[in-house]
Amino acid sequence: MKVSQTRLDGVLLVEPDVFEDDRGYFMESFQAHRYAGAGIGCTFVQDNLSFSIRGTLRGLHYQYPHAQSKLVQAVQGEIYDVAVDIRRGSPGFGRWTSARLSHENRRQLFVPGGFAHGFCVLSETAVVLYKCDDVYAPDCEGGVIWSDPGLAIDWPVQAPLLSQKDGQYAELRDIPGNRLPDFVKIR
């Protein structure tokens, strides 16, 4: 398995070992000891699965105070996955990173707690699986508008399909400080 640091400290791109032959392929999509050795030592307690059509954008979501670290992968199709540092006092506050995840490249993106997360679907359809280290807590739900000009995320869609909720989030600069996580040095 190859693990690469992205331009945001703590957000990791994981490329699992894949064993292919004439029948198809096999890969270990998660193994606690091996991932902990690579810097992903959280205990995952919930798996989420989403199905979306081309042009769908989900995000940018976060939870506070019950932050969720996520290990994200596209098990079918292709997505443009984004993590945004929203931790008050962080050297990376307001910066983002992205990765293309697909069933073909089999990559995963680890997004630590304290980051907002979102993705848009590039293929006809996509099935996305993500492991979370805390359960969904509706009262702690938050979000940043996908089109925040202060973030200037280079989304590969111009007019995405959004949920009503995702289309009404505020810009990061307008979110009260008491609704954002504080920076805690990772590792």
The residues carrying an active-site annotation are 61, 130
Interatomic CA distance for residues 43 and 14, integer angstroms: 17
Q: What is the dihedral of CA 131, 96, 37, 137, to 10 degrees?
A: -30
List b or e across 142-181, with b for residues whose CB sees 16 or more CB atoms inside 10 angstroms.
Answer: bbbbbbbeebebebeeeebbbeeebeebeebeebeeeebb
